[in-house]
Structure 1
């Protein structure tokens, strides 16, 4: 899968006191670069230092090739990556956060063996959200 990066940040879920502000800001800035036609938008987690407690990069991205210039930054996620998919309860205001907490609990309990390569949240045009966790 090839994704065009709109915005990226480097952060940490537990040590960055500006985490929420950073994430809200890049989503807001990335939204100004979305194409007119409705497309899936991704929050891609990559360049992990260690596990979910370490530093990582979050890139807001969209599918496909850009029609602009060759300087666009892309992510190439290998097609053979195995994922565990999680459905987010979109009726829950904290659905994404609660799904991540569930993922972390599964990992802590030895029920999820993560690869820490490329994980992503997929936001569909119809409002559905799925989280994909790369498996080792």
Structure 2
């Protein structure tokens, strides 16, 4: 984990409400959001996408990691870009974030494992999460979901 300052940026994508209890079952929303993002060719509908990275964003937390949150799958765009029908704009706030890099492997294993490490660090008092916005960056290392790697940015107080 390394703390870093992140400048604000804007994303456009699709979002849904969920919680970690639901995500630990076969009825999790997050994998379905990613499937929808690609099967409905959402990237082609995002006007002026910047770069080739995809983002998974956790925001609008009801409480802590036990409560509901909004999960967005999207791409970066220029500030002020309007979302087409069916898509939403999400502003990622500037701030200090702890950056965690997953192991290389299947996303269904390495991403939840990394989050479990984050929860443990929080319980041990080693990080103080803000519960405002957290995000994952899916870059060139994430092209194969069966053998990929992701950076997780956790917002700090």
Q: TM-score, normalised by structure 1?
A: 0.84
Aligned partner of 2:82 in structure 1 is 70
Distance 1:19 1:60 in 2: 19
Aligned partner of 2:42 in structure 1 is 33
Query: What does residue range 12-27 of structure 1 map to in structure 2 within 5 Å?
Result: 12-14=19-21, 20-27=27-34
Structure 1 segments unaligned to the other structure (5+ residues): none
Structure 2 segments unaligned to the other structure (5+ residues): 1-8, 143-148
Matched, 1:89 2:97: no
Residue 26 of structure 1, CA deviation: 0.8
Distance 2:114 2:133 in 1: 17
Matched residue count? 132
Give the RMSD, CA atoms, in angstroms.
Answer: 2.5
Q: Is the 8 A contact 1:88 1:99 kept in 2?
A: yes
1:109 pairs, out of 124, 137, 146, with 124
Distance 2:89 2:11 in 1: 5
